Amino acid sequence: MKRKVYLGVDVGSVSTNFVLMNEADEIVEKLYLRTLGQPIKVIQEGLKLLTNLGEWEVLGVGVTGSGRQLAGSLLRADVIKNEITAHSVAACHEVPDVQTVLEIGGQDSKIIILRNQVVADFAMNTVCAAGTGSFLDQQAARLNINIEDFGKIALTSTNPVRIAGRCTVFAESDMIHKQQLGVSLPDILAGLCEAMVRNYLNNVAKGKEILPPVVFQGGVAANKAMKVAFEQALGLETSVPRHFDVMGALGVSILAREQVTKKGKTTFSGFEIIDNKITTQTFECHDCPNHCEIVRISDQESLIACWGSRCGKFEKVANIAI
């Protein structure tokens, strides 16, 4: 017998996350996959893995992340939402009285200020890598340690060294200098965590009123030393929710349930998409001086979606609102 679920998909530049949530808003399955620059392939791979885990009747689908337009077109999603909305909904679901959300992913970071479960303010960093998970990934690779061991080793530090963290280039140079001085590995790793927290608070969170309860989510929340560094810098307890790594997907699965409850039926394209040959094509439209770059997504010669035109004519041809 098929289990009734809502599907949430968060397509990011580093990871693509899937959540299957039952009618009681409980996660029954979740996946955290590396995008590796191939969002279509990883969406198909994720759906296939989910079918291997059980038989599902998908009642609704929600998508978010930087690749939400693409995912929404492929899956015929019921809800397409930005990351701020998705992470806010998930944070309120996990910690109902949350007032501050600290979120750090692989390629961006954000802060969300909530008051009475309503977004009062937010800020995002999508430019500087020093405030994202890629910063820690790069330094772990240079130090020849697994990123999974980063936090565990950093927590053994007795005297974290101060490292310039405003820029990845400067941080790397400073870290090498500290190595040459004989500073221990745990102290360097703890110093990198503190540098990243300083960067985040001085840039992303600058001018924001950070009030408890504070929730820390996103892939970087797996690093327990980062949680400690935030608590020391803020002087506040910081909680990491159970599903910290798939909060965006959780949020849109909840929104999908709400949307389908209103309209009565899902538009989900089905699991058949797993085996379909999906192709993308880009071209420049020369019908006007705008010269828009158009993206066309096709499924075995049939058009799925188009976007990129300022006038919207290609979207109309594809009969889909993005």
- Whether 239 and 213 have beta carbons less than 8 Å apart is answered as yes
CATH class as words, domain 3-86+248-275: alpha beta
Residues of the chain above pLDDT 90, percent: 57
Q: Evaluate whether 99 touches 211 at the Cβ level (below 8 Å).
A: yes
pLDDT, tens digit (0-9, with 9 covering 90-100), for 95-122: 999 999 999 987 788 999 999 999 999 9
Radius of gyration of the chain (CA): 21
Locate the domains of the chain by residue range.
3-86+248-275, 96-240, 278-318
Instruction: Read off the amino acid at residue 152.
Output: K
In DSSP notation, 221-261 reads: GG-HHHHHHHHHHHTS-EE--TTGGGHHHHHHHHHHHHHHH
For the stretch 245-284, pLDDT in tens is 999 999 999 999 999 999 889 999 899 889 888 877 788 8
CATH topology match: 3-86+248-275 vs 96-240: yes
CATH of span 96-240: 3.30.420.40
Question: Quick one: CA torsion of 176, 181, 183, 188, rounded to 10 degrees?
Answer: -20
pLDDT (tens digit, 9 = 90+) per residue, 298-319? Answer: 777 677 777 677 787 776 555 4
